[in-house]
Amino acid sequence: MSRLLARLLFGPLLALAVILPAAAEDGGPPWSAPLAQDHPLVGRIWLPAEHRFVPPTELSRLLAAADFVLLGERHDNPDHHRLQAWALGKMVIAGRRPVVAFEMIGPEQSTAFDRQRMLRPDDVDGLATALDWSHSNWPDWAYYRPLFAEAIASNLPVRAANLPRDTMRAIARGQPLADDARLAYRLDRPLPPPIFQAMAEEIRQSHCGQLPETAVAPMVDVQRARDAAMAHALSDDTPAGAVLIAGAGHTRTDRGVPWQLATLAAGRTVFSLAFIEVADDSSDPKEYGAAYGSVLPPFDAVWFTPRASDDDPCAEMMTFMKRKAEQQSQ
């Protein structure tokens, strides 16, 4: 597996705290991610379907015009979160008041989150305590703070977008779900074979070949159900539209959340913006589709950024799995 493919497929397992710079007016530098800052694609925004680069002002108009905006990140890249906050801020300036749905929040955390926000509406960092962020597997709170700060400053509703933990565990273990849950998460119908095969191979690669083959199909169902849960978070009772903060794999237009929204919110417009780290040997934006098994990157727009790390993701995965096993044995 290429280093570029690995960087795009793997979520972060280790993260270092950072001090994020103030967002530039056009969303550009200064960059926090240290690698390949001088790459010719860094800072450029590309529309794959139109094969053209656009300025931030045009991107702002595209974001403001969509009912649902999906901001696909690499979780451990601080620049991705800064640019997500920039995009959300531009939508607010344009008069939008969207719901902001986070993959990083599960429904079992909503009560504590809402209580903290009601009691201390201006305390952004108190939200990290309410979410028990330090014990989650997400990167350091400093990465996500700009997004929560933008939502709080603009008084936007914030919504959990992930699956309930017990549902996720049940699906991963192949346990049966109630009929209404299978229907809600669209597990009552098989995937088209090409999509299933592509998702199964991504599951294998993202687990460094360490996942038993019998676990692959249930993990594909977990991914499907998470996509459906995120689509529900965006489309259920959101007349003013919604913004999704999630890993880029969930926001690809050929499947993932957009595929779910086509059924759940037919007729409403979706715009997917992915933040993608550059590779040293790839200066043609079309080449970044290969990591997704596609001729072109499967997004409505791509914003290229420096890389946060060149660490071996499989080594990180092994460390994470060992730590998780140790915690479970205690």
Query: Per-residue pLDDT tens for 222-246?
Result: 999 999 999 999 999 999 999 999 9
* Residue/partner pairs of 280-284 with CB below 8 Å, 24 or more apart: 280/36, 280/39, 282/4, 282/41, 283/39, 283/40, 283/41
DSSP annotation of 209 = T
Structure confidence at residue 11 as a pLDDT band (50, 70, 90): very low
What backbone phi and psi angles, to 5 degrees, belong to 213?
Answer: -60, -30
Let me know how long the chain is.
330
Q: How many CA atoms lie within 13 A of 272 on its CB side?
A: 26
Angle at 165 between CA 162 and CA 168, to 5 degrees: 80
Average pLDDT over residues 123-144: 96
This prediction's pTM: 0.88
Average pLDDT over residues 24-48: 92
pLDDT above 80 (res 127): yes
What backbone phi and psi angles, to 5 degrees, belong to 54?
Answer: -130, 155
